[in-house]
Structure 1
């Protein structure tokens, strides 16, 4: 199933193409991009990220879109909505997430793409709430969450089950946004 295409003033959120896997691997090989994320060890693991994104769209009709900046980049990163794949105090839930090639940071792309994904989630999917998570020290992502109107759940911090117990990226902060609080 192809993903519905979303458009903003400067961006297109679209289905994955085979050529996007090169951009994905380049982005996931960048230590700056991956500073607050678990490493992707090789091209096979990177391709598996795209496979999971495509499978999520096929199952649910939404997922992680490729973010294209027409005239600037065919692959600037990805952004979208996914079902949280583990059990935690706030699940079941749909999470918004993004990852951008560091060459495209500082342009407002994450906020712009995430707003489009949030609008899709609330308006087209009828979700009542969307969550976001990151490590406490990822101030860039937390700033995006706050620009989107998301509010940190002060009692929501948790340990990410897929991360080893002593790993510095295990602890996560939880942000929430209810449809009734979303900016239209």
Structure 2
């Protein structure tokens, strides 16, 4: 049973449900959606990712939430926060991130969902700072980071991207709440 975490005028951010698996698998196998990641994800890895999102929610009280269009209930992707512990000068830290299907691009959904997450982080979770990380080539996500008030604080070579060096370095943005 999914639980609504927060809402905006157009979106519901909620915990994941089994009916999200098929559209999320389709999204994660889309080469254009995944162009800033090392590879597309097969169904088994996508299911494992959703399981980790559930586990992180249970452990920390936050995760990357499923995002749905309020008007229709359509699954759009995810947005939320995760504690990141990979080796970098900026971690451990809570990271805000998003990934939306192609049909949802260019409508302001990522910005709207991210602003709702920042509000949740401040008012409910009492977090003090949030970072966001994206490949230097990922202009759309960097633009969202800037639109939600984040400022660039540095760059580093992400250890997960060593197999795809053309995605490094990653830029790091931060906001104080």
State TM-score, norm by structure 2.
0.94
* Aligned-residue CA RMSD (Å): 1.6
* Partner deviation per Cα, 1:152-175 (whole Å, 9 max, x = no partner): 11xx21111122256212320000
Write the mapping of 1:59-70 to structure 2, written as runs, cut at 5 A: 59-70=59-70
CA distance in 1, matches of 2:124, 2:137: 33
Cα distance, 1:40 vs. partner? Answer: 3.2
CA distance in 2, matches of 1:165, 1:50: 23
* Partner deviation per Cα, 1:32-51 (whole Å, 9 max, x = no partner): 11111121341101111111
Asked if the contact 2:66–2:79 (Cα under 8 Å) also holds between the matched residues in 1, the reply is yes
Cα distance, 1:109 vs. partner? Answer: 0.3
Asked if the contact 1:94–1:129 (Cα under 8 Å) also holds between the matched residues in 2, the reply is yes
Unaligned runs of 5+ in 2: none
> Number of aligned pairs?
177
Asked if the contact 2:16–2:54 (Cα under 8 Å) also holds between the matched residues in 1, the reply is yes
Equivalent residue, structure 1, for 2:161: 163
Cα distance, 1:131 vs. partner? Answer: 0.2
Write the mapping of 1:96-135 to structure 2, written as runs, cut at 5 A: 96-135=96-135
Q: Secondary structure at the match of 1:162?
A: helix
CA distance in 1, matches of 2:41, 2:4: 30
Shift of the 166–8 alpha-carbon distance from structure 1 to 2, 3 Å rule, reads closer
Shift of the 2–57 alpha-carbon distance from structure 1 to 2, 3 Å rule, reads farther
CA distance in 2, matches of 1:166, 1:98: 20
Equivalent residue, structure 1, for 2:39: 39
Asked if the contact 2:10–2:70 (Cα under 8 Å) also holds between the matched residues in 1, the reply is yes
Alignment of 1:178 onto 2:176: yes
Shift of the 65–166 alpha-carbon distance from structure 1 to 2, 3 Å rule, reads closer
Shift of the 51–166 alpha-carbon distance from structure 1 to 2, 3 Å rule, reads closer
State TM-score, norm by structure 1.
0.90
Unaligned runs of 5+ in 1: 180-184
Detail structure 1 runs of 4+ shifted over 4 Å in the superposition: 1-4
Q: Secondary structure at the match of 1:132?
A: strand
Cα distance, 1:85 vs. partner? Answer: 2.7
